[in-house]
Amino acid sequence: MTTSAPANTHHVTLLERIRSKEAKVGVIGLGYVGLPLAVEFARHGFRVTGFDVDQNKARAINEGKSYIPDVHTSDLAASVKAGKLRATSDMSELAAMDVIDIAVPTPLRKTKDPDLSYVVQAVEACAATLRPGQLIILESTTYPGTTDEVVQPMLEARGLRADADFFLAFSPERVDPGNQQFNTRNIPKIVGGAGPASTEVAAALYSSAVDKVIPVSSTRVAEMVKLLENTFRAVNIGLVNEIALMSHKMNIDVWEVIDAARTKPFGFMPFYPGPGLGGHCIPIDPFYLSWKARQSGFECRFIELAGHVNSSMPDYVVERVAEALNTGRKPINGSKILLVGVAYKKDVNDMRESPALDILELLLRRGAQVSYTDPWVPELKHGMTVLRALELSAALEQKPDCAVICTDHAGFDYGSLVKSGTLIVDTRNALRGVKAASIFRL
């Protein structure tokens, strides 16, 4: 726990407003992180205003309609009807907020360098209306040092001082889209402030809506926590992907190996191979860490190697497609390939960094005729390619030469897929336990 901050008028006033639920909370960025957070604060009695440059999102929220699967429309509508939640694209309204939570994307540039443009735009909006006593929290995943090297100087440019006149903290988002067990309320919240007062008010805010809050000593520690969590996953997935490649060469079922290894009650944690990494965090966060490390003269060879293995998996999947087609003396060029699932993970509609997009591009380059089925993604846009989803039954009626299971959505009728006799490349072990000559596993 942090030590108590020396009291000042702004500090005491904001703590009182937070504890009495009188504080007005603003959330910038109403996507997979921001919208659940806004709804959770509203559910716990705060008056919340969501800010987003996308006017369609603001309109949907004000109409009580959710566009995020993890946020039930009934919950959102109840908060809107109660007058606890509204949304706007007018950033000038930030001046009326006591707390501003920034939850905008932090992608990578093509050079694999951090792209903080969305964060900078959000902070510029906050700085334009910043007043004494406000709390600014950054949740967007970024490299250690962003809060004190980028955000703090922008906010202090007009003379106000962090941790005295206003408060500043970093609290990494830990959202796992589609996870039915863990959500905004019951995932522990890490909080690191620009000073003791900032940490205390930020922790007080989250404690009012989240089951457990864990204060840390600085914004840099909080930033590093998130990168460690996702780099841990990326490196272990890279390891198991390499084991999968090795096992294929040695004619060993890697899925059986993992199932057996996970029976050990200590010293082992199961990770699973797949067609590549997807989502906003795991494919990106390790590169934020390695980029920052290079600025300090440290080369993250282990992380870079894992990134190389993971990014090569779509190529391997396409080679497995070629092997499957070769059993029928068919080339990829001209063959009809059906992608079964294109979202980055099971039972979500999130396409960010989905490996299915890389697989699609590689197949198109080799002359394949590609279609897809995905109940969560009605339309797919990638570069100049625009495709509409087919129902699985309709897709099978077109007699594809090969089906590639890229995402193991629960709603798919895998039985009908197997019965169709179509060659199948299963990258997710969705057909676990099914034995057929037509099935080619990762």
Torsion angle in degrees (nearest 10) through CA of 314, 319, 320, 325: 130
Alpha helix segments (H runs only) across 327-413:
355-365, 392-397
- Cβ distance 46 to 21 under 8 Å? yes
First vs last C-alpha separation in the chain: 46
For residue 251, give every residue at least 6 positions away whose Cβ sits within 8 Å of its Cβ, in sequence order, or none.
none
In the sheet where 24-28 sits, what is the strand order?
Answer: 85-88, 47-51, 24-28, 99-102, 135-138, 167-170, 189-193, 213-216
- Say how far apart CA 124 and CA 117 lie, in whole Å: 10
406 is catalytic: no
Cα–Cα distances in Å, from 396 out to 273, 289, 372, 408, 431?
A: 26, 44, 10, 17, 17
- Cβ distance 179 to 156 under 8 Å? no
Catalytic residue among 281, 300, 402, 406: 281
Torsions phi, psi for 383 (to 5 deg): 65, -125
Q: Name the residue type at position 64.
A: G
- Say how far apart CA 112 and CA 69 lie, in whole Å: 29
Burial class (CB in 10 A: 0-12, 13-18, 19+), 363: buried
* Residues belonging to the active site: 281
